[in-house]
Amino acid sequence: MQRADPLAFRQAASRFATGVAVLTALDSHGEACGMTANSFVTISLSPPTVLVSVKSGRMHAAISASRRYGVNVLPEQGGALSRHFAGRSRGTDPDYEIVEGLPRLANCVAFFACEVTRTIDVSDHTLFIAEVSECDYCDDLPLVFFSSRYHLGPGTPVDR
């Protein structure tokens, strides 16, 4: 099968605008860890099911061990947090609390507590499919990631 050119693939994929989340979990020593991710997808409403795609690393090890993760959807002022949890800045001191055994960041626009039900390995990533045991949200605007850059809020609403 023919494969898309890697640069064209990356640039075309960047045209799919997403929100930005920080995945959180407790590692095998009980320490909180976090990782920036935009691969969050809702799969079904009943039961409430989501997935995230996570590359090998500390967060991958933490979710594999605990079988749980939190999804913290960042607010539009969350660019520094996103960079921090992507390993690109050490300047921010993230504020979080442990809620129901999962680290929860302050001031997020939504939070999902997720229990892993299934994993699928795809090259160097794993899809962690999970049922949502709890979630909540507020009406603040989210951070948006589009064309490899952060943007404020979702833009102007248009008719559905």
Q: Residues interacting with ligand FAD, by CB under 6 A?
A: 20, 32-39, 53-55, 57-59, 82, 84-87, 94, 145
- In the bound complex, what is the minimum distance in angstroms from residue 113's beta carbon to ligand FAD? 17
CA-to-CA separations, 91 to 80, 83, 85, 119, in angstroms, rounded: 8, 10, 11, 34
Could you check whether the bond before residue 6 is cis, i.e. omega within 30 degrees of 0? no
- In the bound complex, what is the minimum distance in angstroms from residue 121's beta carbon to ligand FAD? 13
- In the bound complex, what is the minimum distance in angstroms from residue 86's beta carbon to ligand FAD? 4
Alpha carbon distance 92, 88 (integer Å): 11
Closer to ligand FAD by Cβ: residue 32 or 113: 32
Closer to ligand FAD by Cβ: residue 63 or 113: 63
Spatial contact of 41 and 93, defined as CB atoms under 8 Å apart: no
* Residue in the shown chain whose Cβ atom is closest to ligand FAD: 57
- In the bound complex, what is the minimum distance in angstroms from residue 154's beta carbon to ligand FAD? 16
- Residue 80: partners with Cβ closer than 8 Å, 6 or more residues away: 89, 91, 92
Closer to ligand FAD by Cβ: residue 87 or 155: 87
Would you say the C-alpha torsion 102, 57, 60, 40 has a positive or negative sign? positive
Closer to ligand FAD by Cβ: residue 54 or 130: 54
